[in-house]
Chain A
Amino acid sequence: MLYRENGQFKTTYSADQQIFPIRQDRLAIALLLAIAFVAVPLLASEYLFRAVLIPFLILSLAALGLNVLVGYCGQISLGTGGFMAVGAYMAYNAFVRVEGMPLIVAILLGGLSATVVGVLFGIPSLRIRGLYLAVATLAAQFFTDWAFLRIKWFTNDSSSGSVSVSGLQVFGLPIETPVQKYLFCLGVVCVFALMTKNLVRSHLGRAWMAMRDMDVAASVIGIQPVHAKLSAFAVSSFIVGVAGALWGFVHLGSWEPAAFNITRSFDLLFMVIIGGLGSVMGSFFGAAFFVILPIVLDNVPQMFGIQIDTALASHLTTMIFGSLIVFFLIVEPHGLARLWSTAKEKLRLWPFPH
């Protein structure tokens, strides 16, 4: 009834090609952004910022990056944690070694370093595909784990191998309080989400999707596999690297390689699969599922005032979380994003479906 595009006529090509062709969608997104940028900073508690919103935003960004590679280009990668680590550590090096290095430039340099590493580890994708590629990208994960643990230069000769940053600021504005951190992350995520959305609608994105759907056919119609695959690796690892830098700089403040271990890679891959492969929205859904749900489940017994053993509560959380993953995959194998679009489809017909 409310959600219907009747009467909205497009008179120009640009109107037809915009990201949200339906007015209600545009309004909803504008409202969402307004809430995220204005209402949330005014209302949310410090806990909500630090433990929920900031990790959610950063992991959404990382999932978005991985989604470019896995969802749009069809190249499975298990090296995401490693690329995040490259982003974080190289941004750290740029930040502490160069006097007066602006934060944004450091983070982008981290992203660029991750791009280089990503492309390097993407080269095998030209010859191998599917699960074999996944195993090859696993090498990226182990290599970066090893490099940041053992090569002292990367950690600025810190005796314990743990690095930390402080005194963050952007254009003279400090990034210290949770609200400032949140807004900074939100800004970065919005820019990257918009960029990704436009990229996947461009000729490059179409080349990726062609490569994903059938690489032989794609090369027959003139898409270069080298170009398509490596550009997907480059874009993906750039975004993932930026997310890694944010994770280290903004969320943790002090980190060690274990913050980007193999578990992180798996988590991100699962986020993308559960959220929805080949969907920008899905990356956000997946991250929300993985960040918010366990915390909510942790808090449920307390909400009802039930006193249970901490270990039991933790095991229960893991069990329920696991079964929910299975449940959602059975109900909708294409991820939460597909559920979302199904809901929208139904809503367009509601309340008279026939």
Chain B
Amino acid sequence: MKFKSIALAATLTVAGVASLLSTAAFAQAKEQFFPVLVYRTGAYAPNGVPWANGYVDYLKLVNAQGGINGVKISFEECEFGYATDKGVECYERLKGKGATVIQPLSTGTTFALTEKAPVDKIPLITAGYGRSESQDGTVFKWNFPLLGTYWIAADVLIQQIGNKEGGLDKLKGKKIALVYHDSPFGKEPIPLLQERARMHGFELQMLPVTAPGVEQKATWLQVRQSHPDYVLLWGWGVMNSTALKEAQATGYPREKMYGVWWAGAEPDVKDVGEGAKGYNAVAMQHGAEHGSKVVKDVLAQVHAKGQGTGPKEEVGSVLYMRGLISAMLGVEGVRRAQEKYGKGKVMTGEQTRWGLENLALDQKKLDGMGFAGVMRPVSTSCVDHVGANWARVHTWDGKQWKFSSDWLQADTQIIKPLVKGASEKYATEKKLTRRTPADCQAS
């Protein structure tokens, strides 16, 4: 018995070493490789799965349409379960295969990878999440929080609340509670909200919820006691539906609740159904887009051929679109890079970074790709790595998400100084020097 188990242990060790070596010796084909960090398991899987399906489906769609100027895309998923250390392991594993861009869909992992990406020369796209100050491309050369940051999201939400009240000046003396996921993700909007609170004279009440957020009784008891005029919900995964159920139980009006885009998708409200009716969330540009052309393309060119990644019904849902647009941004970065470095060639991470920094997706291009009505133009530069600061608010009507506001633009007058201060602090901590205008021109 003992010998057997020793033999087994020895075999396992040998197999282990062999597999690690084989991973290292993975051949690199002449294809544009997209690593896909996903979480299809764990506490955040209900939200992670549609995102991953959308991401992969778009890559398949590009391949079905002939690739990026003829360059086919290859991709590989790595499951990391929203755990930072596992995410880093996935990054290391996929990096060796010639990663073009990396999109972690986790604020914690983004923070860890921000340290690694510049060394490995792989651009990091964090579409709508990550470090808000990373929109400053002169300090964060490799980070691209395209389509908006948490500060933009928070700013738009305050504006929308102002609109509801009939002007931002009416916010004076009001009380707004921030119910947030107690992690870097949840804490990100705080500096902006504090700034806005100072400007308009509303009171900001902060109510942290311990991750993953299944236990919120105490939080909602506080909401019940202080009865804030509005509640901002900065949650992710199971925390959102729990918060909505608690709000229902405490009788807090859902119409007065505003979520971040991580708290504004179908999985968050579906289980609550009618109970979540009236709940609002910021949509970083897109919402559920079942009618858009790109969704029809995916259905016709990917799903109809039996190559769809997830179920058909999910195509076009909010987080599916998030994944799809994230993939599109990466692909467009490569396409833009090809314009400079040679069409039909495989781009390196460095070249793709240039492409992402010089993105120019005007409305015509977007319409051509089937994104009419889904999003607004994106154009980035060395200084500005966000590319757009528009968002909308959508509301759950009990069955689906419907837009309830017009396009709103975040106030750059407020965000700019915050970004500058925070990125300055980061640069001093890291002893980085800002990129000079010459450096911007060169690369």
Please give, as numbers and ranges, the residues of chain A lying within 8 Å of B5 by CB-CB distance: 328, 331-332, 339
Nearest residue in B to A345 (C-beta to C-beta)? B2
Residues from 1 to 33 in B contacting A, C-beta threshold 8 Å:
1-3, 5-6, 9, 12, 15-16, 18-20, 22-24
Assess whether A198 is interfacial by the CB under 8 Å rule: no
Min CB gap A295→B, angstroms = 7
Partner of B211, one of A252, A258, A309: A258
CB pair A303 B84 closer than 8 Å: no
Write the chain A residue with the least CB distance to B422. A159
Cβ of B344: which chain A residues have Cβ within 8 Å of it? none
Q: Tell me if A96 is interfacial: C-beta within 8 Å of chain B.
A: yes
- B93 lies within 8 A of A310 (CB): no
Contact at A161–B184, with CB atoms within 8 Å? yes
CB-based nearest A residue for B76: A302
* Docked CA distance A45–B21 (Å): 8
Residue in B1, B93, B112 whose CB lies within 8 Å of A47: B93
Our pick among A51, A159, A315 for the contact of B93 (Cβ within 8 Å) is A51
Partner of A166, one of B22, B38, B115, B422: B115
- List A contacts of B6 (CB < 8 A): 339, 342-343
Known: A162-B108, A166-B115, A303-B19. A259 touches B84 (CB 8 A): yes
Q: Answer whether A311 and B92 are a contact pair too, CB < 8 Å, given A160-B188, A162-B184.
A: no
Q: Is residue B292 contacting chain A, with contact meaning CB distance below 8 A?
A: no
Q: Provide the B34-64 mask, 1 if CB < 8 A to any CB of A, else 0.
A: 0000101100010001001000000000000
For window 96-123 of chain B, which residues contact chain A by CB distance below 8 Å? 96, 107-108, 111-112, 114-116, 119
Within the assembled complex, what's the spacing in Å between the Cα atoms of A103 and B119?
Answer: 21
Q: For chain A residues 33-48, which have a beta carbon within 8 Å of chain B?
A: 45-48
The verdict on A256 contacting B183 (CB below 8 Å), with A166-B430, A313-B79, A332-B5 known, is yes
Known: A47-B92, A160-B184, A311-B79. A293 touches B12 (CB 8 A): yes
Partner of B88, one of A51, A96, A300, A303: A51
Complex alpha-carbon distance, A45 and B79, angstroms: 21
Could you say which of A292, A300, A303, A314 has the most chain B C-beta atoms within 10 Å of its C-beta? A314
Chain B residues within an 8 Å CB radius of A252: 84-85, 88, 112
Bound form: Cα–Cα A51–B23 in Å: 12
**B429 on interface, CB distance cutoff 8 Å:** yes
What does DSSP make chain A's interface, helix, strand, loop or mixed?
helix
In the complex, which of the residues A149, A162, A296, A298 contacts B208, with contact meaning CB atoms closer than 8 Å? A149
Complex: chain B residue closest to A162, CB-CB: B184
Give the interface size class of chain B.
Answer: 35 or more
Residues of A within 8 A of B16 (CB): 292-293, 296
Closest to B6 in A: A343
Residues of B within 8 A of A298 (CB): 79
Query: How near does chain B come to A323, taking the closest CB pair, in angstroms?
Result: 13
A254 at the interface (CB under 8 A from B): yes
Among A300-354, those with CB < 8 Å from B are 300, 302-303, 309-311, 313-315, 318, 328, 331-332, 336, 339, 342-343, 346
Interface residue? B414 (CB, 8 A): no
A311 near B41 with CB under 8 A, answer: yes
A83: min CB distance to chain B, Å: 18
Q: Is the CB of A299 within 8 A of B19?
A: yes
By the criterion of a CB under 8 Å from any partner CB, how many residues of chain A are at the interface? Answer: 51
Q: List B contacts of A55 (CB < 8 A).
A: 85, 89
Q: Contacts of A300 on B, CB cut-off 8 Å?
A: 15, 19
**Is B187's beta carbon under 8 Å from chain A?**
yes
Contact with A255, one of B12, B112, B211 (Cβ below 8 angstroms): B112
A189 CB to nearest chain B CB (Å): 18
A328 — which chain B residues lie within 8 A by C-beta?
A: 5
CB < 8 Å: which of B1, B111, B116 contacts A162? B111
A:114-163 near B, CB below 8 Å: 149-150, 159-162
Contact partner, B84, options A51, A52, A258, Cβ 8 Å:
A258
Q: Does A24 interact with chain B (Cβ within 8 Å)? A: no
The answer to the question of B328 belonging to the interface, with a C-beta cut-off of 8 Å to chain A, is no
Q: How far is the CB of A45 from chain B (nearest CB, A)?
A: 4
How does the 8 Å CB contact mask read for B214-256 relative to A, with 1 for contact and 0 for none?
0000000000000000000000000000000000000000000
Q: Does A224 contact B (CB under 8 A)?
A: no
A174: interface (CB < 8 Å): no
Complex Cα–Cα for A299 and B93 (A): 10
**Any chain B CB within 8 A of the CB of A206?**
no
Min Cβ gap A44→B in Å is: 8
Q: Which residues of A contact B340 (CB under 8 A)?
A: none
Whole-angstrom distance from the CB of B372 to the nearest CB of chain A?
Answer: 32
Cβ proximity bits A241-278 to B, threshold 8 Å, 1 near / 0 not: 00000000001111110110000000000000000000
Chain A residues within 8 Å of B22, by CB: 299, 303
Q: Considering only CB atoms, which chain B residue lies closest to A295 in the complex?
A: B89
Determine the distance from Cα of A258 to Cα of B16 in the docked complex, in whole angstroms: 29
Q: Does A50 contact B (CB under 8 A)?
A: yes
Question: Is the Cβ of B23 less than 8 Å from the Cβ of A47?
Answer: yes
The smallest beta-carbon distance between A216 and chain B, in angstroms, is 35
Chain A, residue nearest B18 (CB):
A303
CA distance A305 to B23 in the complex (A): 12
Query: Is there an interface contact between B19 and A47, defined as CB atoms closer than 8 Å?
Result: no
A253: chain B residues at CB < 8 Å are: 112, 115-116
Please tell me if the beta carbons of B96 and A47 are within 8 angstroms of each other in the complex.
yes
- Min C-beta distance of B151 to chain A, whole Å: 10
- Please give, as numbers and ranges, the residues of chain A lying within 8 Å of B95 by CB-CB distance: 46-47
Name the B residues within 8 Å of A318 (CB-CB).
41
- Check if B384 is an interface residue, CB within 8 A of chain A: no
Q: Are A314 and B40 in contact (CB under 8 A)?
A: yes
Q: Does residue B191 face the partner (Cβ distance < 8 Å to A)? A: yes
Contact A45 B24 (CB under 8 A): yes
The answer on a CB contact under 8 Å between A311 and B184 is no
- State the CA gap A315–B40 with chains docked (Å): 10
Chain A residues in 8 Å Cβ range of B3:
346
Shortest Cβ distance from B246 into chain A, in angstroms?
Answer: 21
B81 to chain A, nearest CB (A): 7
Say yes or no for B431: interface residue by CB 8 A criterion.
yes
Chain B residue with Cβ nearest A296? B16
- Nearest Cβ on chain B to A214's Cβ, whole angstroms: 29
* Cβ-defined contact, A258 with B108, below 8 A: yes
Known: A254-B112, A256-B84. A96 touches B429 (CB 8 A): yes
Please give the residue numbers on chain A whose beta carbons come within 8 Å of chain B beta carbons, in ascending order.
Answer: 45-48, 50-52, 55, 96, 149-150, 159-162, 164, 166-167, 176, 251-256, 258-259, 292-293, 295-296, 298-300, 302-303, 309-311, 313-315, 318, 328, 331-332, 336, 339, 342-343, 346
- Interface residue ranges, B against A (CB under 8 Å): 1-3, 5-6, 9, 12, 15-16, 18-20, 22-24, 38, 40-41, 45, 49, 52, 77-79, 81, 84-85, 88-89, 92-93, 95-96, 107-108, 111-112, 114-116, 119, 131, 182-185, 187-188, 190-191, 208, 211, 422, 429-431
Interface contacts beyond A47-B95, A252-B84, A254-B111: sample of 6 additional A-B pairs, CB < 8 Å, sorted by A: A51-B93, A160-B188, A164-B429, A253-B115, A314-B40, A339-B9
Enumerate the 4 nearest inter-chain pairs by beta-carbon distance, A residue then B residue, closest first: A311-B40, A160-B184, A296-B16, A253-B115
